[in-house]
């Protein structure tokens, strides 16, 4: 059987449902369209995002997994590697050469053997350890670097908002 | 990271992501190439090929004449950065159609390669996806296979691209297994693993000498490449012999020949 995006996405969905990584839930928005996924990511423990539940959307291209999906948080989140409109900017979402941020060479890039799970795990570590060298949100990167207390305060508000409090 | 110098460009909109525009434009160019070129073409004669070069381009025209003395036909591959892998894959399977013994050897190597790659740390779940499709294409050789069936498969993205991905993984695996040897041939301050994840595994990354050496060694397939550039008046041929320097006494006669024109590989068919 020929490889196809749909076949792969169905297999990944099944895999994520059977063995969900800690703090991550993800799947198609509706089972009629496997190319749009919704994900819920829990803020990692012992970080300023702990306790929050952050919703995001993943949009897969028709040639997935040859090309990576795009990912966007649908909630407010102030973070150096997330654009103000929610788009996530980390190296694994880009093939080498397609990196608008000019990531350091050792950073992990997209390749067809990566997976949704690998992306979501990278996003969790991005929440724990922002990379202020390649900032998508310059304000957030500055605050993270120069005013950690202020950053933590904003994160706390984000966490509360994400829980609808 | 602070954005400097934005003020000097009055048309610059700091809220706009220009990199994404560049990438979108690149995607458009890729689409145009995809629409205009098949992944692996029908056979061409050199009289058709020579027309690609202008009358004034004496060097290339002369080199096409040189090729005509040794080769009958040529098959073109799509210029999408995957041409070496596609040319290698198609040319090799086409040869295997009429070589059952070599097919059997290759089939076993291909079958076993999956566990070797998993052993190197490639994720089993996604690797299997590519290996399954790769083996499906390989098995087309024995169905009994025909050149037309292979040609159709190599022009079907779901088969052809997956086949290319797996060849890339084989190259990556071989480089990583022999990292102490290849580290000296990698430019930049990179480990072999980093080189593989940046220059080998992603689709569309072009192949250099090191990729070819690695694939011919991984599969133990000697090949020849005819280099057609602006130097001299004949093409320079180079044999990649995977058995060189080893005790292996397998016949190193190239199994097939590829044509290299700067930045691109096609398949050559001898007279």
CATH 3.10.110.10 is held by the domain A5-162: yes
Q: B118 Cβ partners below 8 Å, 6+ apart?
A: B124, B127
* Triad A89, A76, A15: Cα angle to 5°: 60
More confident residue, B187 or A26: A26
CA distance, residue B101 to nearest chain A CA (Å): 26
Confidence of residue B9 (pLDDT cuts 50, 70, 90): low
Question: Do the chains contact at A3 and B130, CB–CB below 8 Å?
Answer: yes
> Annotated catalytic sites of A, by residue?
89
pLDDT the model gives residue A109: 83
pLDDT the model gives residue B10: 60
A interface residues, B as partner, C-beta within 8 Å:
1-4, 7-8, 11-12, 15, 63, 65-67, 83, 95-98, 100, 105-106, 108-115, 118, 132-135, 138, 141
pLDDT the model gives residue B22: 74
Q: Is the pLDDT of residue B173 over 80?
A: yes
pLDDT the model gives residue B12: 64
Q: What one-character-per-residue DSSP string does chain B give?
A: ----SGGG-TT--TTS-HHHHHHHHHHHHHHHHHHHS-SEEEEEEHHHHHTTS-TT-HHHHHHHHHHHTTEEEEEEE-SSS-HHHHHHHHHHHHHHTT-HHHHHHHHHHHHHHHHHHHHTT--HHHHHHHHHHHHHHHHGGGTT--HHHHHHHHT-HHHHHHHHHHHHHHHHHHHHHTHHHHGGG--SS--HHHHIIIIISSTTPPP-HHHHHHHHHHHT--EEEEE-SSSSSSPEEEEE-TTTTSS-------S-EEEEETTEEEEEEE-
Domains, chain B, in order of start with CATH, read: 40-73+222-271 (3.30.200.60), 82-219 (1.20.1300.20)
The domain segmentation of chain A, as residue ranges, is 5-162
Question: pLDDT of B71-98, one tens digit each?
Answer: 999 999 999 999 999 999 999 999 999 9
pLDDT the model gives residue B16: 62
Residue of A nearest to B20 (CA): A100
CA distance, residue A38 to nearest chain B CA (Å): 21
Question: Do the chains contact at A112 and B165, CB–CB below 8 Å?
Answer: yes
pLDDT the model gives residue B235: 87
> Annotated catalytic sites of B, by residue?
80, 83, 264
Question: pLDDT of B197-251, one tens digit each?
Answer: 889 999 999 999 999 999 999 999 999 999 998 888 888 899 999 988 787 778 8
pLDDT the model gives residue B144: 83
More confident residue, B143 or B41: B41
Confidence of residue B19 (pLDDT cuts 50, 70, 90): low
pLDDT the model gives residue B5: 42
More confident residue, B25 or B122: B122
Residue of B1, B23, B201 with shortest CB distance to A113:
B201
pLDDT the model gives residue B4: 46
Confidence of residue B2 (pLDDT cuts 50, 70, 90): very low
Distance of CA A129 to the CA centre of its chain: 13
Give me the mean pLDDT over the A18-28 stretch: 92
Question: pLDDT of A42-79, one tens digit each?
Answer: 999 999 999 999 999 999 999 999 999 999 999 999 99
Give me the mean pLDDT over the B27-31 stretch: 77
The residue among A17, A89, A111, A141 with the most chain B CBs within 10 A of its CB, best to mutate, is A111
Question: pLDDT of A76-121, one tens digit each?
Answer: 999 999 999 999 998 899 876 665 555 555 567 898 999 999 999 9
pTM confidence score: 0.87
Residue of B129, B169, B202 with shortest CB distance to A3:
B129
Question: Do the chains contact at A105 and B198, CB–CB below 8 Å?
Answer: yes
Average pLDDT, chain A: 89
From the list B171, B209, B213, the residue with the least C-alpha distance to B193 is B171
Residue of B2, B156, B188 with shortest CB distance to A2:
B156
CA distance, residue A152 to nearest chain B CA (Å): 20
Residue pairs spanning A and B at CB distance below 8 A: 91
Average pLDDT, chain B: 88
Question: Do the chains contact at A100 and B162, CB–CB below 8 Å?
Answer: no
Confidence of residue B3 (pLDDT cuts 50, 70, 90): very low
């Amino acid at each position: 059987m020929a490889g196809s995006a749909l076949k792969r996405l169905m297999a990944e969905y099944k895999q994520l449902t059977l063995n969900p990584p800690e703090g991550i839930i993800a799947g198609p928005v509706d089972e009629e369209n496997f190319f749009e996924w919704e994900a819920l990511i829990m803020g990692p423990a012992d970080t300023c995002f702990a306790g929050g539940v952050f919703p995001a959307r993943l949009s897969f291209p028709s040639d997935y997994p040859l090309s990576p999906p795009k990912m966007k948080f649908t909630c407010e989140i102030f973070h150096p590697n997330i654009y103000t409109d929610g788009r996530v900017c980390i190296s694994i979402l880009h093939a080498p050469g397609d990196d608008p941020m000019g990531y350091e060479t050792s950073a992990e890039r997209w390749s067809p053997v990566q997976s949704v799970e690998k992306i979501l795990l990278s996003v969790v570590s991005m929440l724990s350890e922002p990379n202020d060298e390649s900032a998508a949100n310059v304000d957030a990167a500055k605050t993270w670097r120069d005013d950690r207390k202020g950053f933590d305060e904003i994160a706390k508000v984000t966490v509360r908002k994400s829980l609808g409090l | 990271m602070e954005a400097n110098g934005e003020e000097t460009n009055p048309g610059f909109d700091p809220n706009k992501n220009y990199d994404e525009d560049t990438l979108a434009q690149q995607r458009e160019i890729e689409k145009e190439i995809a629409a205009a070129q098949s992944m692996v073409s029908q056979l061409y004669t050199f009289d058709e090929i020579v027309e690609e070069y202008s009358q004034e381009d004496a060097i290339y025209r002369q080199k096409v004449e040189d090729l005509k003395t040794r080769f009958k036909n040529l098959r073109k591959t799509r210029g999408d950065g995957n041409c070496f892998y596609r040319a290698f894959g198609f040319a090799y399977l086409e040869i295997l159609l009429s070589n059952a013994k070599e097919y059997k050897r290759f089939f076993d190597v291909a079958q076993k390669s999956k566990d070797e790659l998993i052993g190197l740390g490639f994720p089993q779940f996604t690797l299997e996806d590519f290996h399954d499709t790769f083996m499906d294409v390989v098995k087309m050789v024995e169905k009994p296979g025909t050149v037309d069936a292979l040609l159709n498969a190599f022009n079907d993205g779901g088969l052809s691209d997956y086949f290319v991905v797996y060849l890339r993984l084989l190259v990556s695996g071989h480089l990583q297994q022999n990292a102490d040897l290849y580290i000296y041939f990698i430019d930049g301050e990179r480990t072999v693993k980093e080189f593989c994840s940046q220059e080998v595994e992603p689709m569309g990354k072009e192949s250099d000498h090191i990729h070819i050496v690695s694939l011919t060694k991984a599969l133990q397939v000697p090949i020849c490449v005819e280099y057609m550039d602006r130097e001299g008046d004949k093409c320079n041929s180079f044999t990649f012999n995977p058995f060189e320097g080893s005790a292996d006494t397998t016949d190193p006669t190239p199994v097939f020949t590829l044509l290299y024109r700067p930045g691109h590989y096609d398949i050559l068919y001898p007279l």
